[in-house]
Amino acid sequence: MRKTQKLLFESGRPGRRGVSLPALDVSARPLEELLPQAFRRQLPLGLPELSEPEVVRHYTALSTRNHGVDSGFYPLGSCTMKYNPKVNEEAAALPGFALVHPCQEDETVQGILELLYEAEQYLKEITGMDRITFQPVAGAHGELTGLMMIQAYHRWHGQNRDKVLVPDSAHGTNPATAAMAGFEVIQVPSDQRGLVDLAALKEALGPDTAALMLTNPNTLGLFEEDILEIAAAVHAAGGLLYYDGANLNAVMGYARPGDMGFDVVHLNLHKTFATPHGGGGPGSGTVGVKEKLAPFLPLPLVERGEAGFYLDHDRPQSIGRVHSFHGNFGVVVKAYTYLRMMGADGLKQASADAVLNANYLMHRLKPIFHLPYDRVCKHEFVLSAREQKKMGAGAGDIAKALLDFGFHPPTVYFPLVVTEALMVEPTETESRETLDSFAEAMAEIARLVREDPERVKEAPHTTVVGRLDEARAVRQLRVRWSKEEA
C-alpha cells in the first residue's frame, strides 16, 4: 500500500520536452540586438525535462493520491463540500467566457456583463442585500473587502471607529481580516447555549465599535436566535453588522441575512453555490451590501444602460480595487449555472436536505460522542472527543482513523470553544446510505479507542503514506526540492 511518488525533478532526461511550438515565422534578429547581455539571465533554469506522456503519468499518479468530493464523503465542517455539477465546468470553459480578455471594450463583452448583472439580481434576492461585487476571490478576501467598506463608511461619516468584535467561535479569518484592515479585535464570548453572549456583547459595544462579524448559523451549526436583538444593539451603538456567509447553505429560502439586520455579507460561491474548491481555490468571496454601503463598493460595477450593459468606473466614494480585474469570473459562471438549474425551490430543498442530513447524522452520533450543544442544528454540528481523549485517542487520531474507512474526516480542533472538536457538515448531496456508513465507521472507531487506542493513534494504516510528522516538517524545513539535498 505504502508507496512514494517520484518528484518531477527526479524524473525525465535532459533534452526531453512535453510541448510542440511553432517555428519563428518572422525574420530572426540577433538576440543581442533585442536584449543586451547585461539584462540576460546567467542563472541556470532547473526545470524538469519530460515528454508529454511522462507528464501525464506523473500527474495521473498524483491524482490517485488525492481525495476529492468525487472520491467520497467529505464532511469537512464549515467548508460545504457538496457535489460540484459537471455542467458548471462545461459552461465556464465555453470560449465566449474562457477566452475573453478583461480589458475588452464593453460592447464586446455584453454576454459576460449580462451574466454578472443577472447573477447580482439573484444573489440580492437570496441574501436580501441591495448591491453585489464579484471582485473578491475568496471568503477571507470578501471579509477584507467588507471591512474596508465599513471603515470607509465610518470615515465618511467622520467617525473614528477602530474596534471589530468577533465571537470566540468565529472562523480564524475573521480576526485575521480585522487586524489586516487595521482594526483592533475584541473577542465576544459564547454563552451556555453556544450562542453569542448578549450581555457580554452589549458590554463590549461602544462608540469605538466599527462592526460585529458574525456567522449565522454559527460555527457550532446553531442559529443565533437573538439575531434581531444583536443587530439592534450593534446598530444602536453606531456599529455595522457583518455576515460571514460560510454557512449560508443552511438557510436559503428560509431566512436572509439582509432581513436579519446585516449590513455587509460575503458569500463563498465555492461552498453554497456548488463551485469546486480546486484543492484550495479558486473560489469567490462575492460581497453584498445594503444601500448605505453601496457607494463604497470596489470599482467597477456592472450597470444596465440604454445602449446595453456597461462597467461603471465613476464611483468617487469607492474603496478602490481589491483585484487586478473583475474577480474570479470563471467561478461566477459556475455558480450562475447552478442557480439557473436549481431555481428557488431547488435551493430551498438543498438547504432543507442539508439541515436534515446534519440532524440525522447528529442523532446517530450523539450516543457515541459527546455532543456539547444538544439542540436542533442547522447544516453542521460539533461533537467532542473528550471522552475518547481520556482513553488515549483524541479528535486528531479519530480523524486519521477515518481515513482507513475511505472518508475525509470532519474539521478537527475547531471551533475553539469545544475541546477535542469534530465539526461535521454532511451537505445535502449525500445519500442516507453514506451517512449511515459514516456513522458506523465512527462507532467502530469509538470501539477501537476503547479497546486498542494505540492502534487508533497509529492510524492511518491503509493510505499511500502513514501519519506524517508535521513537527519534523517545521524543524527541518524543506519547502523546495534541490539537487544538493536529494
Partner 1 sequence: MSGRHYLPLTDRERGEMLAAIGANSVEDLFSDVPAAVRLQREMSLPPPLAEGEVLQHLKKLAAKNRHSGDCVSFLGGGVYDHFIPSVVKHITGRSEFYTSYTPYQAEISQGVLQAIFEYQTMICELTGMEVSNASLYDGATALAEGAIMACGATCRSRVLVSRTVNPWYRQVLRTYMDSRGLVLEELPMAEGQTDFGRLEAALGDDVAALILQRPNFFGLVEDMAGVADLLHARGALLIMGVDPLSLPLLQAPVEYGADIVAGEGQSLGSPQSFGGPLLGFFAAGQKLIRRMPGRIVGETVDKEGNRGFVLTLQAREQHIRRERATSNICSNQALNALAAAVYLACLGPGGLTEVATLCLQKAAYARERIASLPGYEVPFPGVYFREFPVRIPGTAAELNRELLKNNVLGGLDLAPHYPELGNAVLLSVTEKRTREEIDLLVRLLEGYR
Nearer to partner 1, 344 or 390 (CB): 344
From the list 170-178, 204-212, 387-395, 437-445, the region that binds partner 1 by CB under 8 A is 170-178
Region 353-382 residues binding partner 1, contact defined as CB under 8 A: 353, 355-357, 359-360, 363-364, 375-376
DSSP summary character for residue 161: -
Binding letters toward partner 1, positions 190-219, x by CB under 8 A: ------------------------------
Which run of H or E residues covers position 114?
Answer: helix 110-127
Cβ neighbors of 231 (< 8 A, separation 6 or more) are 241, 260, 261, 262
From the list 202-210, 235-243, 269-277, 384-392, the region that binds partner 1 by CB under 8 A is 269-277
From the list 200-208, 236-244, 274-282, 449-457, the region that binds partner 1 by CB under 8 A is 274-282
Is residue 175 involved in binding partner 1 (CB under 8 A)?
yes
Shortest distance, position 458 Cβ to partner 1, whole Å: 8
From the list 104-112, 236-244, 380-388, 446-454, the region that binds partner 1 by CB under 8 A is 104-112
Nearer to partner 1, 306 or 470 (CB): 470
The burial class, CB within 10 Å (0-12 / 13-18 / 19+), for 101 is exposed
Cα 220 to Cα 166: distance, rounded to the nearest angstrom: 15
Nearer to partner 1, 62 or 199 (CB): 62
Nearer to partner 1, 450 or 461 (CB): 461
Binding letters toward partner 1, positions 315-334, x by CB under 8 A: ----xxxxxxxxxxxxx-x-
Nearer to partner 1, 93 or 390 (CB): 93
Cα 38 to Cα 253: distance, rounded to the nearest angstrom: 63
Q: Among all chains, which residue has been given the C-alpha cell 457515541? A: 368
Cα 184 to Cα 216: distance, rounded to the nearest angstrom: 22
Shortest distance, position 322 Cβ to partner 1, whole Å: 6
Region 387-446 residues binding partner 1, contact defined as CB under 8 A: 399-400, 403, 408-409, 411, 414, 428-432
Which of 125, 191, 303, 440 binds partner 1 (CB under 8 A)? It is 125
Shortest distance, position 116 Cβ to partner 1, whole Å: 9
Is residue 32 involved in binding partner 1 (CB under 8 A)?
no
Is residue 1 involved in binding partner 1 (CB under 8 A)?
no
Q: Are strands 421-424 and 411-412 parallel, antiparallel or unpaired?
A: antiparallel
C-alpha distances (whole Å) from 364 to each of 409, 423, 435 are: 16, 15, 9
Shortest distance, position 387 Cβ to partner 1, whole Å: 23
Is residue 34 involved in binding partner 1 (CB under 8 A)?
yes
The burial class, CB within 10 Å (0-12 / 13-18 / 19+), for 410 is buried
Nearer to partner 1, 48 or 206 (CB): 48
Nearer to partner 1, 356 or 443 (CB): 356
Tell me the DSSP string of 164-229: EEEETTS-THHHHHHHHTTPEEEEE-B-TTSSB-HHHHHHH--TTEEEEEEESS-TTS---TTHHH
Region 289-318 residues binding partner 1, contact defined as CB under 8 A: 298
Tally the C-alpha atoms within 13 A of residue 100's C-alpha that lie toward its C-beta: 24
**Closest to 77 (Cα-Cα) out of 458, 313, 365, 459:** 365
Region 246-265 residues binding partner 1, contact defined as CB under 8 A: 251-256, 259-260
Which of 73, 115, 249, 397 binds partner 1 (CB under 8 A)? It is 115
Is residue 486 involved in binding partner 1 (CB under 8 A)?
no
Is residue 346 involved in binding partner 1 (CB under 8 A)?
yes
127-149 core/surface letters (b: 16 or more CB in 10 A; e: else): bbbebbbbbbbbbbbbbbbbbbb
C-alpha distances (whole Å) from 59 to each of 71, 211, 262, 359 are: 16, 46, 44, 39
Shortest distance, position 110 Cβ to partner 1, whole Å: 5
Is residue 157 involved in binding partner 1 (CB under 8 A)?
no
Is residue 163 involved in binding partner 1 (CB under 8 A)?
no
Nearer to partner 1, 295 or 346 (CB): 346
Region 455-484 residues binding partner 1, contact defined as CB under 8 A: 458, 460, 463-470, 472-474, 476-482
**How many residues of this chain bind partner 1 (CB under 8 A)?**
206
Is residue 69 involved in binding partner 1 (CB under 8 A)?
yes
Phi-psi region of 394 (alpha: psi -120 to 50; beta: other; left: phi over 0): beta
Cα 275 to Cα 331: distance, rounded to the nearest angstrom: 7
C-alpha distances (whole Å) from 164 to each of 82, 147, 178, 289 are: 32, 9, 7, 18
Say what the alpha-carbon torsion angle 275, 277, 278, 282 is, to the nearest 10 degrees: 80
Is residue 144 involved in binding partner 1 (CB under 8 A)?
yes
From the list 15-23, 196-204, 383-391, 441-449, the region that binds partner 1 by CB under 8 A is 15-23
The burial class, CB within 10 Å (0-12 / 13-18 / 19+), for 25 is exposed
